[in-house]
C-alpha cells in the first residue's frame, strides 16, 4: 500500500456502484481516498507512526474585492504560496472552509486542523452579550440550546470531512471561556460526541491566553493542545526580551502536562510599507522580529510540535481601535504580497523542511553550507 503522507498526497480511486438484478449499473459514486494513520503518543503527533512538526497558518477565506467566501482560483494560488513558504499545514480558522480547499489539501499532502464554527464563546469577545460565567442557563449565558446547535454543527463537520486524509485533528472551538465554572459541563459532551463520530483523529480546541493549565477546565479533554499566544503584541508589546522570557516560561508549564503543543496563533500586526531601523510595533521589521523570537522559543521546547502563525494574509474586519483598515497580522497583504516577515518564515520553514528530507539534499530556500540561503535562479537574495 502507498500511504498518503505529508508532502505526498497519494490517493486511490474508490468507486461504489449500485447494480440492478441484471448487472446494469444504476448509480455510481467515485471518491479519492488516502490511506494513513494519525495519533498522539505522549508529547508527539504521529502520522503513519512518524512524528510531524506542523508549519503553517491560521487562514481565512477572504481576499481583496471578492471579500469573504471561497474562490477556486485564489485557493490554488494560496496553496502555491504555502509551498513557497515551506508550510505543511493550516487551521481552518474559525469555521469549515469550502470542501474544495480540503480536496486541494489532500492532493498537496497538507495537514489540516479542521475547526467548528464556534468562536466568541467568551465574555471579553462577545461585545457585552455574555455574562462573566459564560456557560449555563439564563440571560447572557450559553446553555443547552446552544450546546445542541454546537453538537449539530460538529456532526455536520465530521460527516462532511471525515474522508479527507488531510484532516488530522478536529478543533471543537476557538478561544472559549474555558476556565468558566461550567465550561467542562458544556464541552464534555461535545468532545465525547466527536470521539464517537470519529475515533481515529485527535480532538482539540484553541485555548485563549488567560486560561492556564491550573484553571482551564477543557484542557484535560484535549488530545492535542492548541495555544493562541501573542507575546510581543498584546502582551509585552515593544519589549521582546520580556516577551521571550514569558513565552518560554508559559510553554514550560503546558509541556509539563505531557501533551503535544501546537502554538495555533502567534504574531503581530504590520502595516505594509511601515519601516523602522529600530523595530517598533506596526512596522514590518517588528512583526518579523516577533516571529524570529517566537521561533527561538519553539525550538527550545520539545513538546511544541507545531507553529501556526496568525495570519496567512491580512483580512477585513469590523472597524475598531485595534484595527487599521482590517486585521494586519497577515505576513502577506490582503492581495498576497509578502511583508518582511514572510521571508523570515520562508527561510525558517524551508530550512526545517530540508532537514526533514530523508536524502538530506538541499532545497531552494534552505541554508547553504556557507551559512547563506539559496533562493534559486533569479530569486531574492538572503539579505
- 3-state secondary structure at position 34: coil
Residues in the chain: 383
Which member of 175, 208, 284, 307 is catalytic?
A: 175
- Looking at residue 361, the DSSP 8-state letter turns out to be P
Task: Tell me how far the alpha carbon of residue 107 is from its chain's centroid.
Answer: 18
Kindly state the cell numbers that stand for 7. 508532502
Pairing of strands 38-41, 44-47: antiparallel
Which member of 265, 284, 285, 307 is catalytic?
A: 265
Q: Is 69 exposed, middle or buried (0-12, 13-18, 19+ CB in 10 A)?
A: exposed
Rounded to 5°, the CA angle 376-289-266 comes to 100
Give CA–CA dist 288/340, Å, rounded.
6
Laid out side by side, the sheet with 44-47 consists of 38-41, 44-47, 50-51
Pairing of strands 261-265, 67-68: unpaired
- 3-state secondary structure at position 120: coil
Task: Tell me how far the alpha carbon of residue 372 is from its chain's centroid.
Answer: 29
- Give the end-to-end CA distance of the chain in Å, rounded to a whole number: 45
Q: Is the dihedral of CA 303, 154, 186, 317 positive or negative?
A: positive
Answer yes or no: 123 catalytic.
no
Answer yes or no: 107 catalytic.
no
CB 350 within 8 A of CB 363: yes
CB 101 within 8 A of CB 78: no
Give CA–CA dist 75/63, Å, rounded.
10
Kindly state the cell numbers that stand for 87. 508550510
Give CA–CA dist 247/229, Å, rounded.
8
- Please list the active-site residues: 175, 265
Amino acid at each position: 500500500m502507498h500511504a498518503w503522507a505529508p508532502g505526498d498526497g497519494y490517493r486511490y480511486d474508490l468507486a461504489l456502484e449500485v447494480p440492478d438484478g441484471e448487472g446494469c449499473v444504476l448509480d455510481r459514486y467515485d471518491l479519492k481516498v488516502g490511506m494513513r494513520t494519525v495519533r498522539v503518543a505522549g508529547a508527539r503527533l504521529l502520522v503513519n507512526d512518524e512524528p510531524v512538526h506542523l508549519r503553517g497558518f491560521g487562514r481565512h477565506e477572504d481576499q481583496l474585492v471578492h471579500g469573504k467566501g471561497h474562490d477556486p482560483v485564489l485557493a490554488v494560488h494560496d496553496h502555491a504560496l504555502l509551498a513557497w513558504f515551506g508550510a505543511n499545514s493550516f487551521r481552518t480558522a474559525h469555521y469549515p472552509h469550502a470542501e474544495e480547499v480540503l480536496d486541494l489539501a489532500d492532493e498537496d499532502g497538507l495537514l489540516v486542523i479542521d475547526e467548528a464554527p464556534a468562536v466568541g464563546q467568551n465574555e471579553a469577545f462577545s461585545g457585552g452579550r455574555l455574562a462573566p460565567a459564560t456557560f449555563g442557563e439564563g440571560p447572557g449565558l450559553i446553555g443547552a440550546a446552544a450546546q445542541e446547535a454546537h453538537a449539530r454543527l460538529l456532526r455536520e463537520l465530521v460527516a462532511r470531512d471525515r474522508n479527507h486524509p488531510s484532516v488530522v485533528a478536529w478543533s471543537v472551538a476557538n478561544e472559549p471561556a474555558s476556565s468558566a465554572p461550567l465550561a467542562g459541563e458544556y464541552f464534555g459532551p461535545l468532545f465525547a460526541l466527536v470521539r464517537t463520530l470519529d475515533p481515529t483523529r485527535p480532538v482539540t480546541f484553541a485555548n485563549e491566553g488567560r486560561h492556564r493549565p491550573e484553571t482551564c477546565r477543557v484542557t484535560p479533554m484535549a488530545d492535542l493542545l492548541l495555544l493562541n499566544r501573542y507575546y510581543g503584541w498584546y502582551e509585552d508589546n515593544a519589549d521582546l526580551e520580556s516577551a521571550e522570557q514569558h513565552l518560554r516560561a508559559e510553554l514550560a508549564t503546558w509541556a509539563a502536562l505531557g501533551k503535544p503543543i501546537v502554538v495555533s496563533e502567534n504574531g503581530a500586526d504590520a502595516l505594509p510599507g511601515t519601516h523602522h531601523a529600530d523595530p517598533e510595533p506596526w512596522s514590518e521589521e517588528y512583526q518579523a522580529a516577533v516571529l524570529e523570537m517566537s521561533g527561538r522559543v519553539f525550538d527550545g521546547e520539545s513538546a511544541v510540535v507545531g507553529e501556526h502563525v496568525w495570519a496567512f494574509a491580512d483580512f477585513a474586519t469590523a472597524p475598531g481601535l485595534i484595527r487599521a483598515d482590517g486585521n494586519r497580522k497577515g505576513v502577506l497583504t490582503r492581495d498576497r504580497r509578502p511583508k518582511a516577515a514572510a521571508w523570515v518564515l520562508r527561510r525558517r520553514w524551508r530550512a526545517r523542511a530540508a532537514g526533514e528530507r530523508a536524502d538530506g539534499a538541499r532545497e531552494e530556500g534552505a541554508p547553504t553550507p556557507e551559512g547563506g540561503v539559496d533562493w534559486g535562479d533569479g530569486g531574492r537574495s538572503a539579505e
